[in-house]
A and B are shown apart, each in its own frame.
Chain A
Amino acid sequence: MNKSILQVRGVERRFDTTLALQATDIDIAENDFVTILGPSGCGKSTLLRIVAGLDVQTAGEVLLDGQRISGPGADRGMVFQSYTLFPWLTVLDNVCFGLRERGLPSEQQLDIAHGFLAKVGLKGFANHYPKQLSGGMQQRTALARALANKPRMLLMDEPFGALDHQTRELMQELLLGIWEAERKTVLFVTHDIDEAVFMGTRVVVMSARPGRIKLDHTVPLAHPRHYSVKTTAPFSELKAELTEAVREEVLAAQAASAALA
């Protein structure tokens, strides 16, 4: 295991009186692709948003390269579930957004942006506006925009959650291919078990609210992975175990909300 670049130490999040996230510890190693699985409302997105600096923990701290995180920053690129391209900017200008923020000369911006657009297969769409793109293409642009900024790590909050099944599978392969080439450290939240196993080098399962880490597994599948890995025995075994673990939590969450009602 490589050295850890992100440490989550006793991070807890309360909203008024409800505890959304129990004191949580997790270390993310350099070049790892960590997927976080859990039932909806379990606090997995909250955890990711705290790491991004978009939400503030009520206890504990998050360290990136040993530095305490106190707000959002370009060192943690994020891809959201909703389509967050700036609608008034073309695809190319969207990808340049962070580069311009850093004050790079525009030639260099364009160079980098065109490079990443090619990587996500959107070469011919540089001058399109986001609304002219399909959902999958918008998320590919958002991925290019996050990567172009050369963040220390990439945070992804169910980035393919709004896409149809076929598009989602293609996006998974695209992202996995890019990751296999660059080995950018990724923290990836999803509720799709297949996705978590297929993409991750490590899968973390969170419990029902108040969320805590319930399971933490290394994914025993070699890279590069082909989509056919989804039909192999090691994949199915891990998937079965995770399905069981997540199912328990979904049932627990339902029981909890029934008790409240």
Chain B
Amino acid sequence: MRPLTPVTPRARAVLGVSFFVLFVAVWAAVTFGGLVPKIFLADPLQMLRSGWVLMTEMDFAHDIGMTMWRVIGGFLIAAALALPLGVMMGAYKPVEAFFEPFVSFARYLPASAFIPLLILWAGIGEAQKLALIFIGSFFQLVLMIAVTVGNTRRDLVEAAYTLGSSDSSLVRRVLIPGAAPEIAETLRMVLGWAWTYVIVAELIGASSGIGHMITDSQALLATDQIIFGIIVIGLIGLASDLLFKWANRRLFPWAQLGR
């Protein structure tokens, strides 16, 4: 194979699907074939059956809805605050010098380690879940947005000044629109991380949500339900990712050119 040579879209789709098929086939082989006892790993059919039961009899849709609400809520709060702060840090170096060291430190604080504190401060209600997602995504977003804005091509900045831009219009008309596609990519990526935080938040002290269902299933050794829950998370993640990519392409057609 020659490195970096592109594949046709058709071949790409076939290859992508075939790994899923292979994955399920191996899973089916080891479970149906008896290589792995049922108590450790349910087989694919069992997983689908209990998924059906979860959806039809145990109102799992409500859990999914709760989890999605928490992810989207916490993420939107984080993004709403991170966007202006990140842009300010990227554009104005004193602002960056003021916040950057703390944010760099804070982003390495493991969000899940805050759970005991957050339960103490915010109880085990929704506020605690949102706060955890906020902590997990806010600092990452701020830093990546600041870097993106700070990396604006200097010659574009100079061109804008020679066309009569003021400092504030430079931020509005050059720094923000120029950084927008990459900021949207950052949001897409960090939303994916937010999904891992929400499940952690729900594993401890939750009465609803996908993570809650998974903890409940653990007590019953219901690996079929656990796997179903994990797959649902994966599918929602994939769907939101595709949605984000589609929206970015629609919003920033110019950024797709020459790729």
Residues of chain A at the chain B interface (Cβ within 8 Å) = 52-54, 71-74, 76-78, 80, 82, 84, 86-89, 97-98, 101-102, 129-132, 142, 145-146, 149, 155
| B6 CB–A CB distance under 8 Å | no
| Contact partner, B158, options A54, A77, A86, A89, Cβ 8 Å | A54
B178: CB under 8 A from chain A?
yes
Give Cα distance in the complex from A76 to B158, angstroms.
Answer: 12
Contact of A131 among B169, B173, B254 (CB under 8 A): B254
- A77-B162, A98-B163, A98-B164 are known contacts. Are A84 and B257 too (CB-CB below 8 A)? no
Q: Which residue of B lies closest to A83 (CB)?
A: B155
Cα–Cα distance between A54 and B173 once the two chains are bound (Å): 19
State how many angstroms separate the Cβ of B225 from the closest Cβ of chain A: 47
Q: Which A residues are in CB contact (< 8 Å) with B165?
A: 101
A86: B residues at CB distance < 8 A:
156, 159-160, 174, 177-178
- A149 lies within 8 A of B164 (CB): yes
Residue of B nearest to A101 (CB): B164
Shortest C-beta distance, B169 to chain A (Å), equals 6
> Which of A54, A98, A131, A146 touches B258 (beta carbons < 8 Å)?
A131
Q: Contact check, A74 vs B155: say whether CB atoms are below 8 A apart.
A: no
Contact indicator per residue, chain B 144-177, by CB within 8 Å of chain A (1) or not (0):
0000000001011011111111100100011001
Q: Is B257 touching A88 in the complex (CB atoms < 8 A)?
A: no
B252 proximal to A (CB < 8 A) = yes
A84 and B156: CB pair below 8 A? yes
Specify which of A53, A87, A101, A155 is in contact with B163 (CB 8 Å cutoff). A101
B156 nearest CB neighbor, chain A only: A84
Chain B min CB distance to A238 (Å): 31
**Is B106 among interface residues, defined by CB-CB distance under 8 A?**
no
B215 to chain A, nearest CB (A): 46
Chain A, Cβ-Cβ closest to B257: A131
Please tell me if B184 contacts chain A, counting CB pairs below 8 Å: no
